[in-house]
Amino acid sequence: MKIDAHWLQGARRVASPNANARPEGEISAVVLHGISLPPGEFGGDAIERLFTNTLAPDAHPAFATIAALRVSAHLLIRRDGESVQFVPFDRRAWHAGRSRWQDGDRLRHGLNDFTVGIELEGTDECPYTEAQYATLADVLGTLMQHYPAISAERVTGHAWIAPGRKSDPGPAFDWAYLRRRLGTV
């Protein structure tokens, strides 16, 4: 994999308007998320529609409360391993919301400012696929190579930066397996 002008080569591009400039240009960590739309269902274009502000609120009962949200992520990794990029890495995607993280000796807030947000199509309870882990490991390796401030230790989950508010990527995500794939264990 390769990054060119902050876009992952080989990823399908679907531009999201839900992004803005990073306040200090820092790209130094990754937040992993889990998402399925409708909840518990995989496939379809609802995630892309959510991130591009085109999700019809009446298309499914679960969409009524989220269709007006203005959210995005840098990448989505689908169940079959396909990667879809919504926001170039040098821009701030709106994925983490209210968040905090102990970064060395300082507590940081507003992780969208310096993180790359990666959504994995899945749920807290359903195991993620081998294809997703393979793509994720390749993407993370590429990010670490292109943005040296990112390391395996600086990959975290949404649940860990928004405790009590978020639970993803959930207990079904195998952190130990990801670390083995990255060669950090």
**How much is the mean pLDDT over the chain?**
96
Neighbours of 65 (CB within 10 A): 9
Q: How confident is the model at residue 163 (pLDDT cuts 50, 70, 90)?
A: confident
Percentage of residues of the chain with pLDDT beyond 90: 93
Fold exhibited by the domain 3-37+73-182: Lysozyme-like (3.40.80)
The one catalytic residue among 41, 119, 121, 125: 119
Nearest to 71 by CA among 90, 49, 89: 49
Cα–Cα dist 116/137, whole Å: 14
Q: Is 119 a catalytic residue?
A: yes
pLDDT of residue 183: 86
CB 27 within 8 A of CB 98: no
Residue ranges per structural domain of the chain: 3-37+73-182
In whole angstroms, how far apart are CA 95 and each of 110, 155, 177, 180?
10, 14, 24, 26
CA angle 27, 29, 31 (to 5 degrees): 120
Instruction: Fill in the DSSP letter of residue 75.
Output: E
What number is the average pLDDT over the span 125-130? 96
